[in-house]
Amino acid sequence: MGKIFVTQPHLPPLDEFYPYLQEIWAGKTLTNGGPMHQRLEAELCDHLGVQHISLFANGTLALVTALQALRITGEVITTPFSFVAGAHSLLWNGIKPVFVDIDPVSLNIDPRRIEAAITPQTTAIMPVHCYGNPCDVDAIQRIADNYNLRVIYDAAHAFGVTRGGASVLNAGDLSIMSFHATKVFNTFEGGAIVSPDAKTKQRIDQLKNFGFVDEVTVVAPGINGKMSEINAAFGLLQLQHIERAIARRREIDAMYRRLLGDVTGITCVAPTGQDTANYSYFPILVGPEYPMSRDELYEFMRANDVLGRRYFYPLISSFPMYRGLPSAAPANLPVATALALQVICLPIYPAMTDDDVERVASLFSLSERCALVY
Residue-wise pLDDT tens for the chain (374 aa)? 689 988 887 788 889 999 999 999 999 999 999 999 999 999 999 999 999 999 999 999 999 999 999 999 999 999 999 999 999 999 999 999 999 999 999 999 999 999 999 999 999 999 999 999 999 999 999 999 999 999 999 999 999 999 999 999 999 999 999 999 999 999 999 999 999 999 999 999 999 999 999 999 999 999 999 999 999 999 999 999 999 999 999 999 999 999 999 999 999 998 888 899 999 999 999 999 999 999 999 999 999 999 999 999 999 999 999 999 999 999 999 999 999 999 999 999 999 999 999 999 999 987 666 765 44
CB atoms within 10 A of CB 273: 18
In one-letter notation, the amino acid at residue 32 is: N
Last-in-domain residue among 194, 219, 237 = 237
Dist CA 373 CA 98 (whole Å): 46
pTM (global) more than 0.85? yes
Bond prior to 314 in cis (omega within 30° of 0): yes
Examine the domain organization and report whether 266 and 216 are in the same domain.
Answer: no
What confidence score (pLDDT) does residue 100 get?
98
Query: Using CA atoms, how far apart are residues 239 and 255, in angstroms rounded to an integer?
Result: 25
Rounded to an integer, what distance in angstroms lies between the CA atom of residue 46 and that of residue 370? 51
* pLDDT score recorded for residue 371: 60
**216 and 112 in one domain?**
yes
CATH for 288: 3.90.1150.10
Per the CB < 8 A criterion, the answer to whether 178 and 55 are in contact is no
Kindly state whether residues 177 and 302 are assigned to the same domain.
Answer: no
CATH number at residue 78: 3.40.640.10
Within its chain, how far is the Cα of 288 from the centroid?
A: 28
Could you tell me if 258 and 322 lie in one domain? Answer: yes
Bridge-partner residues for 162, per DSSP? 167, 276
Say yes or no: 253 and 314 in one domain.
Answer: yes
Separation of alpha carbons 294 and 301, rounded Å:
11
Rounded CA separation 157/154 (Å): 8
10 Å CB burial of residue 307 (0-12, 13-18, 19+) is middle
Tell me the β-bridge partners of 212.
218
Could you give the number of structural domains in the chain? 2
**How many residues comprise the chain?**
374
End-to-end CA distance of the chain: 26
Q: Are residues 318 and 367 in the same domain?
A: yes
The answer to whether 124 touches 68, Cβ cutoff 8 Å, is no
Gap between the Cα atoms of 244 and 39, Å rounded: 21
* Torsional sign, CA 274, 188, 349, 310: negative
Whole-angstrom distance, CA of residue 257 vs CA of residue 267: 9
SS3 content of the chain, % helix, strand, coil (to 5): 40, 15, 40
Q: Which of 167, 202, 237 delimits the end of a domain?
A: 237
Q: Which residues contact 74 (CB under 8 A, 6 or more apart)?
A: 95, 96, 121, 122, 123
- Cβ atoms 259, 361 nearer than 8 A: yes
Are residue 199 and residue 277 in the same domain, yes or no? no
266 and 229 share a domain?
no
Q: How many CA atoms lie within 13 A of 296 on its CB side?
A: 14
- In one letter, which amino acid is 85? A
CA distance 81 to 312: 6
Supply φ then ψ for residue 157, to 5 degrees: -100, 0
Q: How far is CA 90 from CA 63, 93, 193, 357, in A?
A: 8, 5, 16, 38
Q: Which residues contact 354 (CB under 8 A, 6 or more apart)?
A: 255
Q: How far apart are CA 69 and CA 16, in angstroms?
A: 37
CB 220 within 8 Å of CB 325: no
- Give just the sign of the alpha carbon dihedral 101, 288, 342, 320: positive
Is 52 within 8 Å of 196 (Cβ atoms)? yes
From 203, 222, 237, the end of a domain falls on 237
Residues 57 and 130 in one domain: yes
Containing domain of residue 186, as a range?
4-237
Same domain, 201 and 299: no
Query: In this structure, are 296 and 206 located in the same domain?
Result: no
Of 279, 282, 313, 312, the C-alpha closest to 158 is: 279
Say yes or no: 134 and 13 in one domain. Answer: yes
Report the alpha-carbon distance of residue 182 to residue 186 in Å, rounded: 7
Kindly state the helix (H) or strand (E) to which residue 163 belongs, with its residue range.
strand 162-163
